[in-house]
Structure 1
Amino acid sequence: MTKSKPKTTQDNGGAAEFASAMMAINPKAMEAWVEIMNDSASFVADRFQKDLATQKALLACRAPSELMRIQSEFVRDAVEQYTAQTTRMFEKISKAAGKSIKDTTAGQSRDYDDIPL
């Protein structure tokens, strides 16, 4: 009786298959997707650093008024930054979708004169 070999490849949720399919279908869409993912990762890393700085400032507070000031600044800045990031992401996704649709449909349209009646 032969033993089956254990599976050595790790399933990553099909991300590699998705990426290669996107590159085959539309390389510009893949480039836009990578740019969006990089921008998102940079934003998350930046926000994490700011969150840590706020936590240190909160732990160093000596008065309730100082605590309230730091919390207020944190919430105001976070809302502004998340709003700006959401706007940037929406614009990038809209632009990428427009390019992708344009590239996909270019050369595929038909003239109405070539349809037999």
Structure 2
Amino acid sequence: MTSKPKTPGAKGAAGLGAFPTIPGAWFSNEAVERWGDIGAEFMEFLSARIHEDVKTQQAILHCKDPAELRKIQEDFLQTAVDQYAAQAGRMTELTNAFLASMMLPPVDD
């Protein structure tokens, strides 16, 4: 019984070591900057939401009657809806910019 010698480049049926190529654009400076923009935008949004939470809690602690409490809660919810809607649009813009930065330039043959 003869067996084939194993060569360093030979891979098993599982395809171990056969890594797909990763476009260099994924690691371009522009793509990394756009990814950083997404992270920074998210952190700014999170900070603004926490600020609104704290402001609302302070207002609730100082309110004197149920009508005032209701107004505080309505304002809080409206602000949250407005901020989340605006943030969704902003994150879509940033994600589109990130994806565009990863596009490889066309190759002229």
What is aligned with 1:84?
86
| Cα distance in 2 between the residues matched to 1:63 and 1:28 | 53
Q: Which amino acid aligns with 2:75?
A: E
Q: What TM-score do you get using the length of structure 1 for normalisation? A: 0.66
Large movers: runs of 4+ above 3 Å? none
* Unmatched runs of 5 consecutive residues or more in structure 1: 1-21, 112-117
1:48-87 paired onto structure 2 within 5 Å: 48-87=50-89
Are the counterparts in 1 of residues 59 and 72 from structure 2 also a CA contact under 8 Å? yes
Larger relative helix fraction: 1
Structure number with the bigger relative contact order (C-alpha 8 A, sep ≥ 6) is 2
* Unmatched runs of 5 consecutive residues or more in structure 2: 1-23
Say whether residues 1:37 and 2:46 are aligned partners: no
| Cα distance in 2 between the residues matched to 1:24 and 1:94 | 14
Residues 28 and 82 of structure 1: CA distance in aligned 2, closer, same or farther (over 3 Å): same
Output the aligned Cα RMSD.
Answer: 2.0
Say whether residues 1:25 and 2:33 are aligned partners: no
Pairs aligned (count): 86
Q: Which amino acid aligns with 1:40?
A: F
| Cα distance in 2 between the residues matched to 1:24 and 1:69 | 48
Structure 1, residues 1-51: CA drift from partner, whole Å, max 9, x if none? xxxxxxxxxxxxxxxxxxxxx897322110000011011111111211111
| Cα distance in 2 between the residues matched to 1:42 and 1:24 | 25
Q: Percent identity?
A: 33
Q: What TM-score do you get using the length of structure 2 for normalisation? A: 0.71
State the structure with more CA Rg.
2
Are the counterparts in 2 of residues 58 and 67 from structure 1 also a CA contact under 8 Å? yes
